[in-house]
Amino acid sequence: MRTQVAIIGGGPAGMFLAHLLRQAGIDAVVLERRDRAYVEGRVRAGVLEQGTTALMRRLGLAARLDREGLVHGGTNLSIDGALFHIDLAALTGGSTVTVYGQQEVMRDLFDAAEARDLPILWNVGDVALHDLDGARPWVGWTGDGVARRLDCDFVVGCDGYHGVSRAAIPAAVRQTFERVYPFGWLGILADVPPVEHELIYANHERGFALASMRSATRSRYYVQCALDEKVADWSDERFWDELCLRLGPEVSARVTRGASFEKTIAPLRSFVSEPMRWGRLFLAGDAAHIVPPTGAKGMNLAVSDVIMLGEAMAEYYGERSTTGIDGYSARALARVWKAERFSWWFTTITHRFPDMDVFSRRLQVAELDYIRGSEAAQRVLAENYVGLPMEVR
């Protein structure tokens, strides 16, 4: 087989890029190690920046998004139960975010790929990348027990943190930067109406909590927990009690309890790998960077990467110019690090750290109180929350 661009990974980064390349008239093949049901079923992010929703409309993927997405013009912060509102739209000249689960985004991407005959190879095994520093890279894999080969001009690694792509960059070239947080998020999904029509990020003396949603009838809630805790130790009753305590009496009085149908504990980390291009290999999404979910930047960062890379590929094939692909890594990383900064900062002001003494706690509360009383501070938060521009050169 031969194609122009081989895309490793059929998650958000890989599928958005595949659609962008198809729109630009560039041939691409997606290789995914799992099946569609598995990829589509993963419970992930649910807050889309305006740049992401704009891309979905540009690609003709937004019919369900426009019908079912919940547009939020604001968000809420809580300090030990005292709630205050951040008016995102007013502070940013009308920008909003949209609650629309990653599962729904993937369904839209896959449905459109099927309708457009966009090639996706499912259940591929033993993926190996070859000759990335030469003129003729190729990808080897096995399918149905048979060794196969895909020749291409470029390889794009969209295969996540544990994929093979990042490891294909020589260790002497690759630099990684990481911060692992000393807590996790215990999250549940329940078919109960959300407690508030917008998200609530709660900082309580017992730890962080988040009140979120997937629809008008399905809620997504989180509480900060220790990394050594087990899901089995958290009954629904214990979770609801802890959530309500951290949200405070005013909010908790409106919480609708119900049986959870999904409950997990996720660790938090900040991670960046540089560069995001080596030879004929490019990285995008979680293959190159991870953010804690506090700022809802993970999938949105992947979209930002592939917008830049899609432009660079279109320039290469349309104008035979290498300017875009040569500048991709630096351009993408400039936005990545800004998103990393915001996600780290938002995590540090909303969570309780194990080594936090009284002085550190007072500083944390003072910062949140400053945000509550300062329009300038709220504007900085709002600008980052709705998403920095996904630049188009």
- Name the active-site residue from 100, 221, 316, 385: 385
Specify whether the CB–CB gap between 346 and 377 falls below 8 A.
Answer: no
Closest CA to 155 of 58, 258, 15, 280: 280
Round to whole Å and give the CA distance between 198 and 123: 38
Work out the angle between the directed axes of helices 323-350 and 375-386 (0-180°, nearest 10).
130
The one catalytic residue among 72, 204, 289, 351: 72
* 384 C-beta neighbours (distance < 10 Å), count: 19
Instruction: Say how many C-beta atoms besides its own lie within 10 A of residue 270's C-beta.
Output: 19
Rounded to an integer, what distance in angstroms lies between the CA atom of residue 29 and that of residue 15? 10
Is 292 an annotated catalytic residue? no
Rounded to whole angstroms, the Cα distance separating 113 from 145 reads 26
State the burial class of residue 136 (Cβ atoms within 10 Å of its Cβ: 0-12, 13-18, 19+). exposed
Is the CB of residue 11 less than 8 Å from the CB of residue 153? Answer: no
- Coil, strand or helix at 18: helix
The yes-or-no answer on residue 385 being catalytic is yes
Helix axes 12-23, 298-319, angle to 10 degrees: 30
* Active-site residue identified among 19, 204, 297, 351: 297
CB 143 within 8 A of CB 239: no
Q: Would residue 293 show up in a list of annotated catalytic residues for this protein? A: yes
Q: How far is it, in rounded angstroms, from Cα 130 to Cα 147? A: 14
Residues 6+ apart with CB under 8 A from 235: none
Residue of 293, 316, 328, 351 marked catalytic: 293
- Rounded to the nearest angstrom, the gap between the alpha carbon of residue 6 and the centroid of all alpha carbons in its chain is 22
Catalytic residue, chosen from 201, 221, 222, 328, is 201
Is 85 a residue of the active site? no
Tokens of 17: 């890029």
Whether 72 is a known active-site residue: answer: yes
**What is the dihedral sign for C-alpha 353, 358, 363, 365?**
positive
Contact 218, 190 (CB under 8 A): yes
Instruction: Give yes or no for a contact between 31 and 141, defined as CB atoms under 8 angstroms apart.
Output: yes
Angle at 12 between CA 6 and CA 18, to 5 degrees: 35
Residues serving a catalytic function are 72, 201, 293, 297, 385
